[in-house]
């Protein structure tokens, strides 16, 4: 397997609204506002799959996938070949994946799952009951170990899923779950697939579960590409009012919405692309 190629890569540090260019061999660092000199080295987020790429050696496609802490894969994009190619570019072999979290049962988030299960039978797959019988049968057919959650469920001491949140897509029910990461410093990162329940609904659900935690970062697909600019501005304003410190809008968020996030969040916006890595402290 090829080792990851890091040459010519630009990295940044974002802390309290200040962007600082760092050594090119270090990933982007997102520090939360609660300083702790005894914090660990952070949790790595490698973006495996996205509509755009950070480096030419990576393949783009419609969908999203993120590798968390080098072992938990959130969503699998639309095309298995591109998923495995991009994992290889990062130097990640399927054998190191300990679990897969699927945000919702849409082709652009489940496309690489079945090939991955061929290579890793018995792999835990975290889904939701509302994903339906066909999804359930497919996971069993490919010998995955399906774990369905209606409410919050811990994957380990740092990482959890929200469980099923009702949503809709073009008038059809589309339940979805998000993933949360609790840093050693006490803050939260929230990762979303498409946010069909509404990005505000997801953030509010996380806040209800963790009322005393700061939400340092929300990233993923926010599904705002069909919204009017004024509606998007109200949503972004509400996210700031909920205390979200940093955002990484990508995938189905849309270019107009991304521009509004940059306008209203300033330097607290991170570009998410396949081939990029950040660390959350």
pLDDT at residue 164, rounded to an integer? 98
262 within 8 A of 23, measured Cβ to Cβ: no
pLDDT in tens, 55-105: 999 999 999 999 999 999 999 999 999 999 999 999 999 999 999 999 999
Residue 230 in tokens: 């004024």
pLDDT at residue 71, rounded to an integer? 97
Q: Look at residue 91 and tell me if it is in a domain.
A: yes
pLDDT in tens, 107-148: 999 999 999 999 999 999 999 999 999 999 999 999 999 999
Extended beta strands in 56-123, E state? 65-68, 72-74, 99-101
pLDDT at residue 1 is higher than 70: no
Residue 27 in tokens: 């990933």
Q: Which residues pair with 161 in a beta bridge?
A: 153, 179
As to burial, measured by CB atoms within 10 angstroms (0-12 exposed, 13-18 middle, 19+ buried), residue 102 is buried
Looking at the chain, the whole-number percentage of residues with pLDDT higher than 90 is 83
Any idea what the CATH number is for the domain that residue 101 is in?
3.60.15.10
Domain count, the chain: 1
How far apart, in whole angstroms, are the C-alpha atoms of residue 248 and residue 119? 31
What phi-psi label fits residue 275: left (phi over 0), alpha (psi between -120 and 50 degrees) or beta? left
Residue 197 in tokens: 């329940």
Residue 186 in tokens: 């006490």
How far apart, in whole angstroms, are the C-alpha atoms of residue 55 and residue 23? 18
Q: Look at residue 276 and tell me if it is in a domain.
A: yes
Strands, sheet with 145-148, edge to edge from the N-terminal-most edge strand: 18-21, 12-15, 28-30, 277-280, 43-49, 65-68, 72-74, 99-101, 124-127, 145-148
Q: Look at residue 220 and tell me if it is in a domain.
A: yes
Helices then strands, each counted (H, E), the chain: 7, 18
114 within 8 A of 76, measured Cβ to Cβ: no
pLDDT in tens, 21-32: 233 334 555 555
Q: Which residue has the tokens 């998923």?
A: 83
Q: Look at residue 67 and tell me if it is in a domain.
A: yes
Q: Look at residue 2 and tell me if it is in a domain.
A: no
Residue 261 in tokens: 């996030």
Exposure string of 106-124, with b = 16+ CB inside 10 Å and e = fewer, is: bebbbbbbebbbeebeebb
Q: Look at residue 127 and tell me if it is in a domain.
A: yes
Q: Look at residue 71 and tell me if it is in a domain.
A: yes
Single pTM value for the model: 0.88
Number of C-beta neighbours around residue 40 at 10 A: 11
Q: How many residues does the chain have?
A: 281
3-state DSSP call for residue 235? helix
pLDDT in tens, 160-198: 999 999 999 999 999 999 999 998 776 999 999 999 999
Report the mean per-residue pLDDT for the chain. Answer: 88
pLDDT in tens, 216-226: 999 999 999 99
The boundaries of the domain holding residue 246 are 12-280
Q: What radius of gyration, in Å, describes the C-alpha atoms of the chain?
A: 17
Q: Look at residue 1 and tell me if it is in a domain.
A: no
């Amino acid at each position: 397997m090829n080792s990851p190629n890091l040459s010519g890569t630009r990295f940044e540090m974002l802390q309290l609204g200040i962007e600082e260019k760092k050594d090119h061999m270090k990933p982007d660092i997102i520090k939360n506002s609660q300083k702790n000199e005894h914090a660990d080295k952070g949790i790595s987020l490698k973006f495996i799959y996205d509509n755009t790429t950070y480096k030419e050696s990576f393949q783009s496609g419609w969908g999203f996938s993120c590798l968390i802490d080098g072992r938990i894969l959130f969503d699998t994009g639309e095309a298995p070949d591109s998923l495995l190619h991009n994992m290889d570019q990062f130097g990640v072999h399927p054998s190191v994946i300990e679990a897969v979290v699927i945000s919702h049962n849409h082709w652009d988030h489940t496309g690489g799952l079945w090939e991955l299960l061929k290579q890793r039978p018995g792999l835990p797959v975290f889904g939701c009951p509302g994903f339906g019988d066909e999804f359930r049968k497919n996971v069993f057919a490919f010998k995955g170990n399906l774990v369905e959650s209606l409410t919050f469920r811990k994957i380990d001491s740092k990482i959890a899923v929200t469980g099923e949140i009702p949503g809709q897509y073009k008038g059809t029910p589309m339940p979805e779950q998000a993933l949360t990461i609790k840093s050693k410093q006490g803050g939260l990162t929230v990762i979303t697939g498409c946010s069909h329940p509404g990005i505000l609904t997801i953030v509010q659900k996380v806040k209800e579960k963790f009322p005393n935690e700061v939400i340092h970062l929300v990233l993923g697909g926010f599904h705002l590409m069909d919204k009017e600019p004024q509606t998007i501005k109200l949503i972004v304003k509400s996210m700031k009012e909920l205390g979200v410190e940093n955002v990484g809008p990508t995938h189905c968020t849309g270019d107009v919405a991304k521009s509004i996030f940059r306008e209203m969040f300033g330097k607290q916006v991170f570009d998410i692309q396949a081939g990029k890595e950040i660390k959350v402290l």
